[in-house]
Amino acid sequence: MADKPWYQRTNDDIFKTLDTDEQGLSAEQVTDRRTQYGENRLSAKKQSSLLAKFAAQFKDFMIIVLIVAAVIAGATGELVDAIIILAVVILNAVFGVFQESKAEEAINSLKEMAAPMAHVERNGETKTVKSDELVPGDIVFLEAGDIVPADIRLLTANAMKVEESALTGESVPVQKQANVLEAADLPLGDRSNMAYMNANVTTGRGTGVVVGIGMQTEVGRIAGMLDQAEETKTPLQENLTQLGKWLTVLILAIAVLVFVIGMLRGQETMIDMLLTAISLAVAAIPEGLPAIVTVTLALGTQRMAKRHALIRKLPAVETLGSTDIIASDKTGTLTQNKMTVEQIYENGQLTPARNAAVTMSDPLALAMVLNNDGKPDGDTLIGDPTETALIQYYLDRKAPALATIKAHPRVAEIPFDSERKLMSTFNQNHDQQITQYVKGAPDQLLKRVTRIADRGQVRTITDEDRQHILTTNHELATQALRVLAFAYQPVDEVPSDLTSETAEQNLIFIGLIGMIDPERPEVAQAVAEAQSAGIRPIMITGDHKDTAKAIAIRLGILTDTPKADNAVITGAELDQLSDETFTKQVGQYAVYARVAPEHKVRIVHAWQKQGKVVAMTGDGVNDAPALKTADIGVGMGITGTEVSKGASDMVLADDNFSTIVVAVEEGRKVFSNIQKSLQYLLSANIGEVLTLFVMTLLGWQILAPVQILWINLVTDTFPAIALGLEPAEPDIMKRKPRGRASNFFSGGVFANVGYQGLLEGVMTLFVYWLAVTFPVHTSPEMMHADALTMAFATLGLIQLFHAFNSKTIHQSIFKVGLFRNKAFNWAILAAFILLAVTIIVPGLNGIFHLTQLNGLQWGVVLGAGVAMILIVEVVKWVQRMTGKA
């Protein structure tokens, strides 16, 4: 509708462009425009039905493999195995549908945020209409407490402030005015003559003309970005997909090879060899892996919830563990989201506010609490955050600030306005004496000052005083403190002509106060911990460059050196860089200030193109697209909008950056435990495959399908899940992030799986050979039955012993503790009993084609299990000594 931005246009130009005036639109114009522009609503793409979402869950490659495995298991008569596999598949699908449905709530939340009603001028009459009935050109009235119903160019603004942090990231309400802004390409936070949809009017009032509705608003633009944002696959999902493809090809090749070799030898029937090949395929597929991953992640979410990190999507738990970059919003996450008095300048001295003497009879104290629109509301203060902070400073120090306000009623005032940057109040004490208190910008207030309060005395202000005040103001400003100056003067009566020109003159300067939204006390340590873990924290904020830089230095995100300026970039400066250039240079920036929603998405994309795993925090509507784009979006539970929470993978119940670092530690533990379970499962499966393959190759009597399936069911389930409960290893936060290129086989796991699986297979074959070479029975039939039983017992038992090896990838199991994990101990015992009863219990061993073993035979089997632990311990020691660990 406009070639030039609305904030650069004059009122006449806007009225002409929109064919409207101060009397508002006619009924006919409203009808025509509703037909032309539609309703003032946010739209979204058509969402899939529950059935479609459920069906989509079965497109995953690993899921297809498991379904095939279930069919094969059922075909061999192993219905229990088939039911377990299908139950895992269906459970995963149901959970996936639930999570996808929750994610779609983000757009719906945006719709629900819209203002329900709006006050408009139409045909010269003031009316109240539904906000979705607004059209471009409508004249809208706004006052304190209103939600802005559309994008509006202000025509008037009387002491009007708008809280738009959800859209811009600005930490305090923004002072609005109606003048034309000449600058081009202003960020949203600097467009002081605009009010944007869903923002809140905190103080004052104003009128404006609707210049954007629905999807044409800034919020609508974000909704469009959120709707189009691609779902990012987590490293865990990518790893499982790759693993599924790799295993399927390998397993099918080996199964076919075993079948062909068996048939060529001619010692088994075709149906026997087909069942053997199918059993081998089922045994080799780690069908327990999805269940193990799900259980491990679910338990991780429970532990995180106890530490204030609420996981919305299970894979996010593991993604945290691989995080390289934490892009954090400043306000409320790194800082406390409340303005705080930090420095006080009085009597020519600058003092930290915490050390300043507190007395309500002090002129500065009186000015701070009386020249103030903050009001008590129960146990809290309501009003502008800057003003409530001035009162809260004295309340925190047990000073009777509220009683002082009550004892000095306001009898008149000159409201703040953005041109003169001052506010005056006239307060009367119990003796009916009136004092004028003034606060505002130091440079503006000093123009009205002729005297200064100095240690209880009032004297003429000197040029030296003025210079010292300005120098102090500059010093505080460079620390990114918001500086307010205060003055007062006794008056006989309130001037009848109450204007700034008549009343705000010949003032007595009292002092300055420096305020800031301070950093959370625990965040600096959390930043240091993240950095020691190889994770780079970066700050993204809608606040000004100097404020962002100062907080970043205080937190340790930046070091206070001349080079710090080069690590800070604004949204406007970012716009000057091409995507290619920015991607190359992204590593040099640690702080981003005055950014817009698209900037946040660009930052996330740039790091992802560098191969980094990015966690992004945010609390506003403006953060939602970046939260959805990031590898893991972290929403704020307290200050966050429903939109940002809906687009997030994790929500911080305490809005605290340090909680992210705690969650990263938990995520690393989860990945480490899944890796341990995977190493255990695959090495066991390789041992089974190798045993069957060599038996077939050598023409030995091979293990029956029922025996293989039972070993697989017993050893793969309980011990592997219990490994997911292992405590974190002590050095887990000293390791560097794995990064996007890593996978489950990184860190030596691939080699471990190979040699440990080979070892299991060789030792099982050795026991079989030993049993045949030195038989207990002379009968060939009993000899082979004993040998098969010993091979069965060895293959099963050696896996249970190997589960202890898998409690740590490279460290000695005697260092991490053999029996710390009680669930693991019980799992091993249960698996051993289930394995042993098939050999020991008469009748049951007949079903499994097994014989009872004597003490010597059990000794050989147990010896193989112990040897498995000892050999792996030696290999781990060599790995540590040679630096391979």
Residue numbers annotated as active site: 329
Helix (H, G, I), strand (E, B) or coil at 373: coil
Q: CB-based contacts of 168: which residues, under 8 Å, 6+ apart?
A: 174, 187, 188, 189, 542, 620, 622
Q: How far is CA 394 from CA 340, 390, 486, 514, in A?
A: 11, 7, 16, 15
Are residues 590 and 567 in contact, defined by beta-carbon separation less than 8 angstroms? Answer: yes
- Residue 311 to residues 190, 314, 633, 634, 643: CA-CA distances in angstroms? 35, 7, 10, 9, 16
Residue 676: which residues within 8 A CB-CB, separation 6 or more?
Answer: 723, 724, 726, 806, 807, 808, 809
The span from the CA of 364 to the CA of 367, in Å, is: 5
* Tokens encoding 39: 């309703």
Rounded to whole angstroms, how far apart are CA atoms 617 and 330? 9
Contacts of residue 419, defined as CB under 8 A and 6 or more positions apart, other chains included, come to: 177
Which residues have CB under 8 Å from 149's CB, separation 6+? Answer: 40, 114, 115, 117, 118, 131, 134, 140, 197
Determine the Cα angle at 350 with ends 345 and 353, to 5°: 75
E strands in 492-552: 507-516, 536-540
Closest alpha carbon to 627 in 603, 655, 610, 609: 603
Residue among 671, 670, 668 at smallest CA distance from 743: 671
DSSP bridge partners of 125:
122
Tell me the CB-side half-sphere exposure of residue 410, using CA atoms within 13 A. 18
The 3 state secondary structure assigned to 286-350 is CCCHHHHHHHHHHHHHHHHHHCCEEECCCHHHHHHHCCCEEEEEHHHHHECCCCEEEEEEECCEE
Cα–Cα distance between 634 and 406 in angstroms, integer? Answer: 44
Here the tokens at position 856 are 């010597």
Q: If you compute the radius of gyration of the chain from its CA atoms, what whole number of angstroms results?
A: 36
- Rounded distance between C-alpha atoms, residue 231 and residue 773, angstroms: 60
Output phi, psi for 81, to 5 deg. -60, -45
* CB 58, CB 97: distance < 8 Å: no
- 367: closest CA among 421, 318, 408, 312? 408
Distances (CA, A) of 741 to 157, 633, 738, 751: 54, 20, 8, 18
H or E element at residue 448: none
CB 210 within 8 Å of CB 150: yes
Residue 425 host element (H or E): strand 422-428
Can you read off the two tokens belonging to residue 52?
A: 């479609």
Nearest to 210 by CA among 125, 139, 129: 139
Q: What is the DSSP letter of 173?
A: P
Cα separation, 315 vs 330, in Å, equals: 26
Distance CA 752, CA 378 (A): 63
For residue 445, what are the β-bridge partners?
none
